[in-house]
Structure 1
Amino acid sequence: MILILGYGQLGSELASLIPDSLVVYRSQGPSNGVRMDVTDFRAIEDLILKRRPKAIINTVAVTDVDACEVRREEAFKTNGEVVRHLARVARVVEAHLIHVSTDYVFDGEKGMYSEVDVPNPINYYGLTKLVGESYALSYDDSLVVRTSGVYGRKGFPLYVYNALREGKEVKAFRGYFSPTWARALAEAIVELLKLGKTGVLHVAGPRVSRYELAFSIAERMKLKELVREVEEVPGWRARRPLDSSLDSSRARRLLSTDFQAQGYEKLFSA
C-alpha cells in the first residue's frame, strides 16, 4: 500500500495513478481515504505504524507564499515539522519516503538550478520548505522531488485564462520559473517510486517567464493587449525569486516519462 498525503492538484493525480493508495486529506478527498490533520503528529504517526505502507508520498504544504509570511507557525508546522515526523516513522516501518519540494528554496539570482546548487530562500515559504527537505534527507530511504509552478485545477495558467476570459488585465511578473503540469509530475513520481530513487531530483517543466506564458495564452485568445509585464504584483507580501527555474536534465536522463509535457491546451478544449 502507498500512502499519499494531500489531495490537491498533485495528490489527486497520484491517487488516480496508484490503485493501491490510501489518501490522507484534510477537508475534501476520496470516500475511501482518511480525513486527518497532518499536523496532528501523534495521529499521523499512529496511522503509519498501523497501516505500514511500503511508501509515503508527501504532497501536503502551505503553498500560498504571502500567507506563509503571516501564518508563520502554521507554515512551519505543515511545511517543516510534518516531514520530521514522517521521516521518523518511515524509518520505523521501513517505508520509502518521497517529499515534494519547491524551486523557491533558491534565491533566483541565476536560474536553471541543478541539484548541486546551494539553496538560499528569500521568503518564509522557501525557508519552511527547505526545513522540510532537511528532515526528509535525514532518512536514508528518502527522495526530495523539487518542482516549480504546479498547475492543473488551479495555478498561474488557469488564473491567466480566467482573468482574460473575464476581460481583466493580467499583470505578469517578469521573473522566470518552470511551470509543471500536475498530471505529468504525478506520472514522473510514480516512475520514481518504482525505481526506488533517493536523494534530491528536479522534476519540472521548461523555463519560461510568467509574462511569456501569459502572453502566449492571451495570443491564443486574441487578447494580447490585456497582458502587461510588471516588476512586482500589487498586494504581494513576500519577495519572489527573479529566476527560480530548475534544471531537470538529470531527471530527463533517468525517466521515460515526459514530465515536461504541458497541459495548456486543456484550457482551450474545456
Structure 2
Amino acid sequence: MKKVLVTGSNGLLGQSLVSLLLNEKDKYEVIGFSRGFNRSGRDDFKYVSIDITDEMLLKEKLKTYTPDVIVNTAAMTNVDACEDNKEECDRLNVSVVEYLKEYAEKRKVHLIHLSTDFIFDGKKGYYKETDEPNPLSYYGKSKLKSEKTLVSSSIDYTILRTILVYGKVFDMSRSNIVLWVKKTLEEGKELSIVKDQFRMPTYVESLACACKLAIDRKAKGIFNVSSNKLLSIYEIAIEIAEVFDLNKELIKPISTRSLNQKAVRPVKTGFDLNKSIEELNFIPENFKQDLQNFKEKLT
C-alpha cells in the first residue's frame, strides 16, 4: 500500500489522478491537498483544504500524513497572468517546489512534478528531454526554476513535461482548449484561432496514467508526455469540430501577431516521446483518437 499525496487535487489533473488511483484502493492510500472545499465529488479519500504556499503549514501537514509519494500538480498556469503577477507565480510555481523538495530530502519521499513545453523557445519542435531550455515567458521561466530545484537536489524526483492539457472532471474551475472550442461552436459563434503556433495536446487521462506509471515504476528523471502528432492550434480546433460534428466553417485562422498577447509564446513545441515510451511504458495516441475517447466519456 503506497500513500500518495496529490497537491492541487481540485484541478483538472489532480481530480483525474485521484480518481485513477482510487480505482485500486488496495494499492494506494490517497490524500489530496488543495484550496477551498473538495471539488472532486468523491469522499472516499482524505482531503485537506490548505494554502500550500504557506511553508510552515505545508510542512506541518506533510509530517501529519507522511506520504511515500508526492505528485505536485498545483501550479499557476495562466501564461499572461504569470507575466502580470510574477510574485504570485513564483510562490506557487517555485517556492512550493522548494518546500516539497526540502521535505522529500528529509523523509526520502519520491516527488513527481509537472512541467511544461513552455520552458523551450519553440524554434525547433519535437524537443527531447535533454534539449537546452530557453523560456520566453515568465511562466516558462518559473517552471524551469522549479525543474532546476529538483535536478540539483539529492531526492528521487520525476519531472513530467506536458503540453496543452484538456479534459473534463466533476467540478471545473476553468476551461481548456477542447471545451472552449466545443462550447463556442455549439453556440454557433465564430472562432479566431492562431495558425502559426504548433502543439501536441495532452488528454488529461493520459497524463494521469503517466503519473501513475511514474509512481509504480519509481521512475527517476525527466519525461515528456503528450499526444504524438504536432498540429497547428488551428488544426487542433478543426479536429475538435470534426470529432464533435460541429461547424468547422466558423473557425477562422489568424496570426499570433494579431492577438497582442502579454506573454510571448513559443512558435513550435511538441515532444520526442521515445524515452517515455521505452522507460515509462507510456502509450501515446494521436490527438483525434484521444478526442474520440474524450467524446465517449462525455456521452
TM-score by length of 1: 0.94
Structure 2 residue aligned with 1:67: 81
* 1:57-206 paired onto structure 2 within 5 Å: 57-139=71-153, 140-153=155-168, 154-174=175-195, 175-206=197-228
Tell me if the contact between 2:111 and 2:157 (Cα under 8 Å) persists in the aligned partners.
Answer: yes
How far apart are the structure 2 equivalents of 1:22 and 1:132? Answer: 23
Q: CA deviation at 1:182?
A: 0.6
Tell me if the contact between 2:217 and 2:280 (Cα under 8 Å) persists in the aligned partners.
Answer: no
Q: 1:215 corresponds to which letter in structure 2?
A: I
Structure 2 residue aligned with 1:263: 290
Q: CA deviation at 1:61?
A: 0.4
Alignment partner of 2:136: what SS? coil
Q: 1:148 corresponds to which letter in structure 2?
A: I
How far apart are the structure 1 equivalents of 2:5 and 2:236? Answer: 34
Deviations 1:133-177 (A, max 9, x none): 111223331111101111112321111111111112222122111
Tell me if the contact between 2:194 and 2:254 (Cα under 8 Å) persists in the aligned partners.
Answer: yes
How far apart are the structure 2 equivalents of 1:222 and 1:125? Answer: 33
How far apart are the structure 2 equivalents of 1:138 and 1:44? Answer: 22
The alignment of Structure 1 onto Structure 2 pairs a total of residues equal to 270
Alignment partner of 2:126: what SS? coil
Tell me if the contact between 1:152 and 1:263 (Cα under 8 Å) persists in the aligned partners.
Answer: no
Structure 1 residue aligned with 2:171: none
| Cα-Cα RMSD | 1.7
How far apart are the structure 2 equivalents of 1:95 and 1:229? Answer: 47
Q: CA deviation at 1:55?
A: 0.6
How far apart are the structure 1 equivalents of 2:4 and 2:212? Answer: 11
- Name which of structure 1's ranges 164-173 and 63-72 shifts more when overlaid on structure 2: 164-173
How far apart are the structure 1 equivalents of 2:19 and 2:53? Answer: 25
Structure 1 residue aligned with 2:33: 24
Tell me if the contact between 1:161 and 1:267 (Cα under 8 Å) persists in the aligned partners.
Answer: no
Deviations 1:170-224 (A, max 9, x none): 2212211111011111112101111111111111112221111111222343512
Q: CA deviation at 1:234?
A: 2.9
Tell me if the contact between 1:215 and 1:227 (Cα under 8 Å) persists in the aligned partners.
Answer: yes
How far apart are the structure 1 equivalents of 2:104 and 2:280? Answer: 25
Alignment partner of 1:264: what SS? helix
Structure 2 residue aligned with 1:216: 239
Structure 2: give runs of 5+ residues left out of the alignment: 23-28, 169-174
Structure 2 residue aligned with 1:4: 6
How far apart are the structure 2 equivalents of 1:131 and 1:143? Answer: 15
Q: 1:145 corresponds to which letter in structure 2?
A: L
TM-score by length of 2: 0.86
Alignment partner of 1:33: what SS? strand
Tell me if the contact between 1:146 and 1:202 (Cα under 8 Å) persists in the aligned partners.
Answer: yes
Structure 2 residue aligned with 1:227: 251
Residue 44 (structure 1) aligned to one of 55, 58, 62: 58
Tell me if the contact between 1:108 and 1:242 (Cα under 8 Å) persists in the aligned partners.
Answer: yes
Alignment partner of 2:205: what SS? helix
Q: 1:187 corresponds to which letter in structure 2?
A: C
Alignment partner of 2:283: what SS? coil
Residue 269 (structure 2) aligned to one of 218, 241, 244: 244
Distance 1:254 1:260, change over 3 A: farther
Structure 1: give runs of 5+ residues left out of the alignment: none
Q: 1:60 corresponds to which letter in structure 2?
A: A
Tell me if the contact between 1:158 and 1:267 (Cα under 8 Å) persists in the aligned partners.
Answer: no
How far apart are the structure 2 equivalents of 1:179 and 1:117? Answer: 20
Deviations 1:228-263 (A, max 9, x none): 222126352111110111111110122334243653
Q: CA deviation at 1:66?
A: 0.8
